Each structure stands twice: as structure tokens, then as C-alpha cells.
Amino acid sequence: MTLAAAAGTAAHATTTTAAETHGFLSPTGVEIAFLLVGLVTLGAAIITVTTRQLVHAALWLVVALGGLAVEYLLLTAEFIAWVQVLIYVGSVVVLLLFGLMLTRAPIGRSPDADSGNRWVALAVSVVAAAALVWVVADAFRTTWIDLDGAPSGSTEVTGASLFQHWVLPFEALSVLLLAALVGAIVLSRKAKDGAATGARATRRDSEGVR
Amino acid sequence: MHLAYPAVLSALLFCTGLYGVLARRNAILVLMSVELMLNAVNLNLVAFDAWLSRAAEDTLHSGQALALFTIAIAAAEIGIGLAIVLAVYRNRGTSDIDRLRDTAEGHDPDDPDSDATGREAPAPRAAGEKAEATA
Amino acid sequence: MTTTTLAVLVPLLPFLGAIAGLLLGRTAPGFVRPLAVLPTLVSLALAALVAARQGGDGAVDAATELTPTGSVPVELALHIDGFAALTAVLVTVVAGCVQIYSTGYLRDDPRYPSYAALVSLFTSAMLLVVYSGDLMVLLVGWEVMGICSYFLVGHYWETPEARAASLKAFLVTKLGDLPFLIGLFALATDAGSFRITRILGAVANGGIEHPTLVALLLLAGVAGKSAQFPLHTWLPDAMAGPTPVSALIHAATMVAAGVYFIARLLPLFEASQAAMTVLAVMAAVTMAGSALAALAQDDIKRVLAYSTIGQLGYMTGALAVADRGAAVFHLLSHGAFKALLFLAAGVIIHAAGTNSLAAMSRMGHLRDRVPDAYWTMTVALLALAAISPFSGFFSKEAVLGAAEHVVTGHTGHAPAAAGWIVLLAGLVTALLTAAYAMRLWQLAFRGHGTEAPDHGRQPLTMTVVLWVLAVPSLALGGLAFRVLPDWFDGRDLTPTLTTSVLGTGVALVGGIVTYATWRHTTAHAAARVPLGAVAAHPEGDAARVEAEAIAAHEPAYGDIAYAPDPSDPGRLLLGPLHRHAAAGFHLDAVYSALFVRPVRAGASLVRFLDREVVDTYVRGAGTLPRWLGAAVRRAQTGNLQTYVSALLAGTVVLAVAAVLAATGA
């Protein structure tokens, strides 16, 4: 705890000493859990973007987003984890499924789910991933997160911060959501028949956020 | 916890989403990939917030607040995006991104291809009615 | 009003008349004729008044500088001496006669308003040249005359002859005007002023550094304007214009301007013996050659045109022997009788319906149809042939007397060689002039054959001016030679016995020989080949008949100047020379070979270079970006994913590069 307090006063000065206490090859329990859930999340994400069955892609997306919620919990950000579950898993994925249905997406394997651009896309994303991972790992290889003590992302802490320091952006965001609501209605209303569906879905979505 | 874990995971998720955006043909799948990318960013925000709230005694919790905002904006984005995709689908009879090539060089708005999609237009409208009835 | 004010009004009135005529020509056709005639007549009265007030005393000088114009000042200056006063009277008399005559001659011409306005402008420009005391202002009038002659010669622009002639007149005179301009600048730089009085003062003090160069440059411009060899070729072709315009150009304006200019600046030319010799040779070649050519022409107006060139040769000859009094005296008398000759020729062409002498010689009783033209033209031809007591005799004898004066060594102003050249050429030309005058008279008025067609009487406006001009042709010389020295340099203009006897003798010989030849050729009347006479609309107004006659000459005879008429006395007199003389001694062909064809070849070369070489680069510069554009265009597939892929790939490359640069790797 003395070392942790020192790290709190001068983060950069303590990183070298902190590295000595945390062995890179001796992960803690939290780290192991994070790693396992992260693998599942990454796997689900990869399946989401590669599967040929469109509805399965949406369902694998649920797995990936749920895995991310667990990761938030492991990072002690519990409020965001529940928001993630509510909004993403609860409404966004449902909305996406509705979209798939409304555009008459084929059930089952569709051979043309990937466009002809996929090899280029693969190259670009692999190079980007290599570059990002290299930079991130190089930059933060001696940085540690201190997860002990009071959780930093509890509902109380987050609410206090949000309504003390972030109240003005919060209200601005509500205006943005209103604009999105109106926009979605106008877009969907162009053809009279299909208008109601899109508008209703969007309204539900924005209510979920509030 | 080592900061490299969430940072690397977030980078990989981001690039997975990137691949999806570039490689998927169906517009709704592209939107899903966009969601993946946004979530990767959120993970980054939360991880760094957790680090900085201790290491730099950050009381603003800016990472978490921004993550919440990102979630809200992502929800709005998905609503607008789906509305656009539906509108396109109603007009063109398809939501395949690589068939929407109106900006291509030499594109003729009166070519037989667009006529064919115009003739298909009533079919998805009927589908839309059906979906409304079920909803 | 002061003399200066009157003198300013003289060129100003025709100018205002021209502007008003151009402005009102369409809206108020009724005002066009008064606006054409009245300003010129008022100018005549004012010019006469100015001449009376000036009266041969000291020159009237007035100058005002409107604004500073750089190193050498340009001033609005008047310089009215005896020469200017009398020349202005001549110009206004002839211009007035021409304007009155034109009202009848172009009676039905739809373009009469612009024609009359241009004639007024022409007159105004000439009066400006005459009165101006500043060389730059003189140049303005000089160039305005050039452009007016272009428009007026091309009045019948429907015919290709008129178009070609107007272009030729413009280009040839411009060819002379370029050295003229350079000469003016050189002169003004040496003298420090454009004022004639100051320049003459500088000449008297020896302030001109290169008098020969300047004089020769100015001479080129004069040769172009006054139609002297070798730049005279535009004048015969200018006959494609209406006859009153020919009269105006030949008698009073344009061609007179060159002679008058030298007369004004004669001391400058006297300063250079070489220039005087060149002037003498030019005059001699011009007068002898043009007289030969005149003897062979078939078109009545071309005969008169070559005769004008010859008479101008007399004037330049007089200048070459440094006697400007004689030159301007001949200018005045020639102006009167040459205007008369042209205007009478216009009447004859109208009556006969043709401009061909060969065709006229096959018409009987042509003189009974146009008695006014017959009698006045006889007077004018006698004056042209220098038969005493007609005015041409006195002025020509003044020229020959001046040449003899130089030959006998009584003056130091001109080289004796110039005197000999002018004297001999003048005598030869006197012989030839009498010969072609006689030929013209015989062929036009003594023809045999079918009755000339009767188109009724000529308009009064056309016949009255003939008699008006006949008076000075008849009497000017005899009355004026005693008075004129008071106005001019004071040198005696009385004919001397030797030259009078010689000149009249050769003239009589020329006339008698031609008459005998004519009797000889017409004796073979049975063998006369019929020749086509032409005029499609003989009942139309004179201008229309003339335009048709000019247009029909070449199709009928195969050449604009030549007719295959075996009964022509000129053919017998000239022998093998006839053919060449008719073509103006092929000077046009020489010009064509020397200038026209090289210029055309150069133009086609430039065209080739432009089309094939320059354009290749231009096209290449266009083609390369087009290919590049086509290549880039292929990338525009419209597939958004491709675009985003490229965008992100670029972003990754940039980001990696930035990181590498930041870490110093």
C-alpha cells in the first residue's frame, strides 16, 4: 500500500519500482479472468464479422458486447457495464435484428455476405492491428492499473461526476438525441408505408438511452 | 492489472470492426462492425479512466463520462443508420453496399439496371407493411 | 474674326459635316446632301478669305500646346504661308465641285450618306495637312486620308476589283508611311520639335545631323502618298472607286499631300544633294514610264490615272530642282484640269455605258450626247498637253524653266545632274503627254460606228461643275503666273523662250504624230473587229453604270487595263512595248514575285509550324492529363468500401511513419 500511495502522488516516478512488484509472468486472478473473457470477446467479434449467416452475426455480436460488459466489471466500472448490457444487448442488437428482418436478410448461409473487397480489408486491418498493438504494447508495457480500494466506476461515483462536472454536455447530448429522433422519423417517413416502423424503433432506442 | 491487456484487446477489437466495415456486403452487418469499433473505444476509455483515477488522482472521471456519451451517440447513430438503410432498401430493393454505386464515374441514372431496381421497389414496400403488422 | 480663327474653321467645318452626316445618315436622309455640300462651300469661302487676308505677306503662325507629351512637344499649330493659303483654296474648290457632282452621280446610291461623309472627312484631313504647322498633327491628317481613301476606293465593294484596289491602296501607302513615321521621329529628335518653323530653323543652322537619311525616309512616305515610282501601283487600280473620288484623290487631296509636304520642307531636302538626285531620278522614271503606260491603257480612267502620276512627276521634278513655286503652281493648275478631266470622264462613262476607249471608238456621235463634257474635256486635255494659252502650259513651262535654270548653273540649291534629268525627262514626257491626250480625245469623241445610246441629258449638277472647273483650266495659268511669285518664294514663273519653244514643239509633234497614226489605223476601218460594249443597266444612275462597266471590263477583254483593239493608235506607236506598257511594265508582277509570294510562303510556313509543331505540343499537353485522368477515372468505381479501404490504408501508413519519425527509428 505504501508503494501504491507513492504511485498515486507521482505516477511516472513509481512505474519502475511498481514493475518490480508486479511480475509480468505471474498474473493475478483478475488478469487471468480478463484475459479469458477478452479471448471470448475477441473470438465472438471475429465470428461476427466473418460468419456467413447474418442472424448469427447479430447473435455473436450479443456475445461480444456481453463479454465487453464483463470486462467493464473487471475494470470496476459497474455502472457502464450495466448500461452496456441494457442499451447494447437490450436495444441495439434488437434494433439490428429488426433491420435485418425488414431488409429481408436471408436466413441461413448466404454465400455473398462478404464483398469482393475482403482481401484488401484483411490486409488493411491486419496491418492496422499490428501497428496499433505494437505501439500500445510498447507504450504501456510498464504501466499498471491499481484496482484495489474503492471502485472508481460505481453508480454513485459516476452519477456524482456526471451531474457535477458533465451536466452541460449531458444536456447537449439530450438535444442531439432529439435531433436524431426527428431525423430518423423524417428519413423513415419518406415512403408513407414504411415510416412508422423506423420512427417507433428509433423512439424506443432513444428512450432506452435516457 | 497490466494496462496492456485492455489496451491490446481494444486495439484488436477495433481492427476486427475495421475489417467488418471494409469487408461486409450487407449494410446492417457494416453497422454491427461499427458498433464493435465503438465498443473498442469504450473499453479503452474505461481502462484509462481506471488507471488515471488512481495514478493521477483524476476526480472528473472523464473516461467514464465520455464512454457514456459514446454509448448514447452510438445508439442515436444506429437509429439514424438503420433508418437510412431502410430508406435505401425501400428505394433500391437492396441493402448491399457494393451495389450502391451512383457516384461511380460514367454512371447513367437512366441505365437499365436502375430501371430494374425501380421495378423491384413495390416488393420491399409490401415487406415493410408485413413487418409493421407483426410489430 | 481673326485669320487664325477662320483658318481653324476651314478644316473643322467639313469634319463636323462628316460627323453629322454619319450620325444623321439613316435617321434624316433629307439633311445628308446639304450637310455634305454646305460645309465644304463655307470652307471654300473661308479659305478664300484666309488667302485674301494672308495675301502673300509673312506667314501666319499660331500654336497652342494642349498638354505636355513627353520629350518632344506636340502642338496644335497653324502655319499659313502663300503655299498653304492657295492650296487650301484649291482643295476646297475641288472638294466643293466633287460634292456637288456626287449628288448627281450617286443619285440613287443607298450608301450615299456614308460616302458623302467620308468625302467630307477626306477634305477635312487634307485641309489639316495643308494648314498644320506641326508635323504630328500633319501626320494625323495624312493617315486619316489613307483610311478614307481605303473606304472610298472600295465604295463598290461588291466587285472584287474594288476590294482588291482598296486593300492595295491602303497597304502600298502604309508601306511608305512606315519609313515616313521613322523619318519624322528622326527629324523631330534632331530638331527638338515637331513645329515646321523650328525644323526649318534647325535646317538653316545646320542642326540636322543626318539630312540624307531623314530626307530619304520621308521620301518613301511621299512616294507612297503621291504615287511616285516605285510605289505608284496603287493609283491606277484605285480607279475601281467612283469617279468623283478619283477626281478628289487625284486633283486636290492625297496625292497632292506628298508634293505639298516636300514643298513645305524643301530646305531639308536641299540640305542633301543625294536626296535631291534621288528625287530627280524618281520624278524622271515616274513621268516617262507613266506617260508610256498611259498611251497603252484602254480604260479611260486608267489613262487619266497614269497621266496624274506623270504630272505628279513634274511636280517632284520641280522640287528636285529646288523650285517649290513651280511645283505648287503646277499642283494648282493640275488640280483644276485633272478634276475636270475626271468629272468629264464620269459623264462620258455614264453616257457611253462603258469605260473602254476601244468600245467608245466604235460609237458614233458620242460627243453630241455629252456636249458639255466634250467641250470642257477638250479644254482640259489641251491644258494637260501644255498647249498655250491653257493653264497647263504656264505651270509646266515653269517647271521646265526651273530645270533649265539649274542646268545653266544659276542656282546652288540643286545639283546640275538633277536639272538635266528633269529637263530631258520633262521634254520626253511632254511629247508623250500630248500623244496620249490626243489618243484619248480621238478615241472618245471621234468614234465611228453604231449610234451611241441616248440616255437623256446628264443631271445639271454634273454638267455645271464641269464649266466651273473649265474656267481655271483655261485661264488660271495665264492670269496667275505674274501674281503667284508674290505668294510664293518670289522666284519668277514666267515661261522662258527656250523651254517654251521646245516644250510646245515636242507637244505639237506628239499630237500630230498621234493624229496621223489614228488616221492610218482608222483607214482600215473595214478590218475593225467588233468589240463588246457593256453596261447592263444604262438607265441607272452614273455610279451604277460605272460599277457595272468596271466589273464587266475584265470578262469582256481578259484584262482590266488592256483591250485587243488593232485600231488603237497607241498600239502602232508603241510597237512591241505596248503589251508591257498596258500592264504597267509588269511592276505588279515584280512586286508579286518580290513581296507577295515570299510573304505568302512565309505565312504558309508559319501556318505549318503553328498547326504541326506548336499544336503538337498543345495537343500533347492536353492529351497527357487526359490519359492520366482516364487512369484515375478507373479508380472511381463508386464502391464506398474501396474508397474507405484506400483511405484507411493511407492513414495506417501515415501513422506508422509518424510513429517511426517520433521514436527516431
Q: Above 50 in pLDDT, residue C162?
A: yes
**Between these two residues, B71 and C409, which has the higher pLDDT value?**
B71
Instruction: Tell me the CATH number for domain B4-134.
Output: 1.10.287.3510
Query: Of A68-72, C70-74, C281-285, which has the strongest mean pLDDT?
Result: A68-72
Render pLDDT for B23-43 as a digit per residue (tens, 0 to 9): 888 889 999 999 999 999 999
Please give the C-alpha separations between residue C442 and each of A102, C388, C448, C505, C511, in angstroms, as whole numbers.
Answer: 114, 20, 11, 20, 11
pLDDT, position C653:
92
Cell of C153: 476606293
Q: How far apart are CA C197 and CA C264, in angstroms?
A: 10
Whether pLDDT at A46 is above 90: yes
d(CA A149, CA A145): 12
C350 has pLDDT over 60: yes
pLDDT at position B130: 42
Instruction: Test C645 with A135 for CB contact under 8 angstroms.
Output: no
At residue C36, the pLDDT reads 84
pLDDT recorded at residue C538: 58
A154 and B45 Cβ atoms separated by less than 8 Å: no
Cell numbers placing C29? 436622309
Say what the pLDDT of residue A16 is: 42
pLDDT of residue C288: 86
Contacts of residue C538, Cβ cutoff 8 Å, sequence gap at least 6: C353, C453, C455, C545
Q: Residue C537's pLDDT is what?
A: 60
More confident residue, C209 or B118: C209
Q: Do A120 and C639 touch (CB under 8 A)?
A: no
In percent, the amount of chain C with pLDDT more than 70 equals 92
Amino acid at C646: A
Contact call for B4 and A140, based on CB within 8 A:
yes
Residues C90-132 have pLDDT tens digits of: 889 888 888 888 888 887 778 888 888 888 998 999 998 888 8
Which tops the pLDDT comparison, C94 or C1?
Answer: C94
| Candidates A124, A153, A187; nearest CB to B22 | A124
C227: left (phi over 0), alpha (psi -120 to 50) or beta: left
Please judge whether A198 and B83 are an interchain contact, meaning their C-beta atoms are less than 8 angstroms apart. yes
pLDDT of C647 strictly over 50: yes
Residue B135 pLDDT grade (very low, low, confident, very high; cuts 50, 70, 90): very low
Residue C366 scores a pLDDT above 80: no
Cα–chain center distance at C109: 24
CB contact under 8 A, A121 and C641: yes
Q: Are C40 and C96 in contact (CB under 8 A)?
A: yes
Q: Does domain A2-109+116-165 have CATH number 3.30.420.40?
A: no
Measured between alpha carbons, how far is C665 from C659 in angstroms, rounded to an integer? 9
CA distances from A65 to A31, B79, B82, B127, C169 (A): 19, 18, 19, 30, 97
Q: Give the strand pairing for C450-451 and C76-80.
A: unpaired
- Region C343-353: mean pLDDT is 83
C-alpha cell at A156: 454513485
In sequence order, the β-bridge partners of residue B24 are A114
pLDDT of residue C558: 62
Which sign, positive or negative, has the C-alpha torsion C463, C332, C187, C309?
positive
Nearest CA in chain A to B91: A191
Contact C431, C310 (CB under 8 A): no
Q: For the purposes of burial, counting CB atoms within 10 Å of the CB of A94, is it exposed (0-12), middle (13-18) or buried (19 or more)?
A: middle
Check B105 against C636: CB less than 8 A apart. yes
Using CA coordinates, name the residue in chain A closest to C660: A135
Specify whether the CB–CB gap between C233 and C291 falls below 8 A: no
Q: Answer whether C654 touches A (CB < 8 Å).
A: no
Encoded amino acid at C406, one letter: V
Rounded Cα distance, C104 and C152, in Å: 17
**Chain C: touching chains (3 or more CB pairs < 8 Å):** A, B
Residues of A in contact with B16 (CB under 8 A): 42, 45-46, 48-49, 125
More confident residue, B58 or C53: C53
**Chain A residues inside the 8 Å CB shell of B41:** none
**SS3 of C62, please?**
strand
pLDDT tens-place string over residues C522-534: 766 544 555 555 5
Look at A8-17, C549-558, C573-582 and tell me which has the smallest mean pLDDT. Answer: A8-17
Give C650's pLDDT tier (boundaries 50, 70, 90): very high
Mean pLDDT of C53-68: 77
* Shortest alpha-carbon distance between residue B107 and chain A (Å): 20
User: Please, what is the average pLDDT of chain C?
Assistant: 82
Span between the terminal Cα atoms of chain B, in Å: 46
pLDDT tops 60 at residue A208: no
Rg, C-alpha atoms of chain C: 31
Contact C641 A115 (CB under 8 A): yes
pLDDT score at C167: 87
pLDDT tens per residue, range C438-473: 888 888 887 777 776 666 677 777 788 888 888 888
Average pLDDT over residues C139-166: 86
Which residues, numbered 19 to 78 in chain B, qualify as contacts with chain A under a Cβ-Cβ cut-off of 8 Å?
19-29, 31-33, 35-36, 39, 42-43, 46-47, 49-51, 53-57, 59-61, 64-65, 67-69, 71-78
Where along chain C do its domains lie?
272-574, 587-663
Predicted pLDDT at A6: 39
Taking contacts as CB-CB distances below 8 angstroms, the residues of chain B near A193 are 125, 128-129, 132
Beta strands C76-80 and C60-64 are antiparallel
**B79 contacts A202? CB cut-off 8 A:** yes
